[in-house]
Amino acid sequence: MPRPPIIALMTCLAAAMGQAQTGAPIIPPVVAPPMPGLPSFADLVARVRPAVVTITATAPAEPAAPQTPARQLRPMLRREGQARPVQALGSGFLIDAAGTIITNNHVVSGALAVSVTLDDGRHLPARLVGSDPWTDLAVLRIDAGTPLPWLSLGASETLRPGDWVVAMGNPFGLDGTVTAGIVSARGRNIGQGPYDDFIQIDAAINTGNSGGPLFATDGRVVGVNSAIYSPSGGSVGIGFAIPSDLVREVVAALLANGRVERGFLGATSQPLTPPLAAALGMPGMTGALIDDVVPRGPAARAGLQPGDVVTAADGAPVADARALARIVARSQPNTVLSLTVQRDGTSQYMLARIIPAPETADRPPALPEGRGPRFGMTLAALTDAARRERRIPREARGALITALAPNGGGALAGVQQGDVLVSIGGQEVVDPASALALMRQAWPNATVLRVLRNGAGLYLALPAL
């Protein structure tokens, strides 16, 4: 019988070196000593495993989805089989002996029924106590009839990049799976919502890990595994967990009220880019640029205006638009928020009384023929037909952008066809004629445009031409 090629090759090499006759190894065997500093997580896993559960959510039948390119940011939810209705598998963990469980909202959202499988194999029905889509968290309750093992929430604020972490869950239906890695980064924004503040980890997490715990080496939960970055759907070493400090706040509200009541400022903001900061005369990119203010809302009553940059709230620095959104959301209704604002190169101080956020957070409506010289934008008047087609308020004024030159200033600034130009350099645009006059006045210097896009205001930095 011929030998496998790799074995034959190894034999030839040994003979060539004069070793085939004796059979002696080329390199004597060496027993590698244990590597110092590499931990074993076996004791930790043995302690915490009994409190980690598998969650089965039965959802209504879904129509077949069209074939589209795979999303790279994926919630880690495993759907079982092709039968109707659909069953989805996720993970969760107990936080008290009475049967309270934390998981992801996307695991149980829209479910007809939810059941939990404990580490000892028992299957129990679960009821939804409350959920919060904004942070992708949900709380369940089961009645086991006996006290259950449970886990404590740790302090995610103490985590540092490079710290060891351990993930547990139910990837691909394989319950009790344990993986380990390190914290890759903190404070990640993955575009899932205004409260993104994820812990990035390299511990392998996959479909079905959603809602499972992320442990520090002391056995406390420092995160809830929620999403992975993956072009293929499998782990590539980039996972994201909701930090336990945020989990603690949200879960307390869900247990008390079944929902999270957030504060509402009545203003939306966007990040400061280097061109915008330069055009607004800001020394750096720290702060939240206000792009819309709801009429008669808390921000409007406080005196806040589009174009203001909020740099501090209650004395705490505001790093960016996300930071302002989190501060406002965590403010209790009827409390007064002190704002430090930069306007026209000067600091102003305002007091805004926060109100409860509306149940449905629609973006507030914004107030809102010729070619701009060297700006590459073709403008038209706002006709009744254009207002109806683009849902532009009747009282809004401005100029409709109907075409853009590919390399013109407008295109370079990020203007899009269909935007409504409402101000240039802080001066209101009433119609195409006023827009042309303001463009000529601004040229050739850099300036700031404000446009109305899909019902919301947006600031854009127009470069020097």
**Model pLDDT, residue 100:** 98
Which carries the bigger pLDDT value, residue 427 or residue 125?
A: 125
CB 381 within 8 A of CB 400: yes
Q: What are the pLDDT digits (tens) for 4-34?
A: 443 233 323 333 334 444 445 455 555 555 5
* Model pLDDT, residue 39: 81
Q: 0.85 exceeded by the pTM?
A: no
pLDDT of residue 1: 44
Q: For residues 243-247, give the mean pLDDT.
A: 96
Average pLDDT over residues 73-98: 71
Quickly state the pLDDT bin for 211 (edges 50, 70, 90): very high
Confidence band (pLDDT; 50, 70, 90) for 69? very low
**pLDDT attached to residue 8:** 34
Average pLDDT rounded to a whole number, residues 208-230? 92
Average pLDDT, whole number, for the chain? 81
Query: 28-65: string of b/e by CB count within 10 Å (b at 16+)?
Result: eeeeeeeeeeeeebeebbeebebbbbbbbbebeeeeee
Please choose, from the candidates 421, 434, 315, 297, the residue with its C-alpha nearest in 3D space to the C-alpha of residue 368: 421
Amino acid at 156: S
- Told to judge if 106 belongs to the known catalytic residues of this protein, a careful annotator would answer yes
DSSP code string of 69-106: PPPSEEE--EEE-S-SSEEEEEEEEE-STT-EEEE-HH
136 annotated active-site: yes
pLDDT at 116: 96
- Please tell me which residue in 131, 156, 210, 226 is annotated as part of the active site: 210
Domains of the chain: 44-61+71-260 (2.40.10.120), 263-356 (2.30.42.10), 370-462 (2.30.42.10)
Residue 339 and residue 313 in contact, taking contact as beta carbons nearer than 8 Å: yes
- The separation between CA 335 and the C-alpha centre of its own chain, rounded to angstroms, equals 27
Q: What percentage of residues in the chain have a pLDDT greater than 90?
A: 41
pLDDT digits (tens, 9 = 90+) for 353-382: 999 987 644 333 222 233 344 567 778 888
pLDDT greater than 50 at residue 427:
yes
**If you average pLDDT over each of 6-10, 328-332, 355-359, 407-411, which comes out highest?**
328-332
pLDDT tens figures, 180-195: 999 999 988 887 767 7
Mean pLDDT value of segment 249-253: 95
Tokens 């470069």, residue located: 463
Confirm whether 362 is a catalytic residue: no
Higher local confidence (pLDDT), 131 or 464: 131
Stronger pLDDT, 84 or 423, i.e. the higher one: 423
pLDDT at 96 over 90: yes
Active-site entry in 91, 106, 226, 331:
106
Question: Of 91, 131, 132, 136, which residue is the catalytic one?
Answer: 136
DSSP lists the bridge partners of residue 24 as: none
pLDDT for res 225: 95
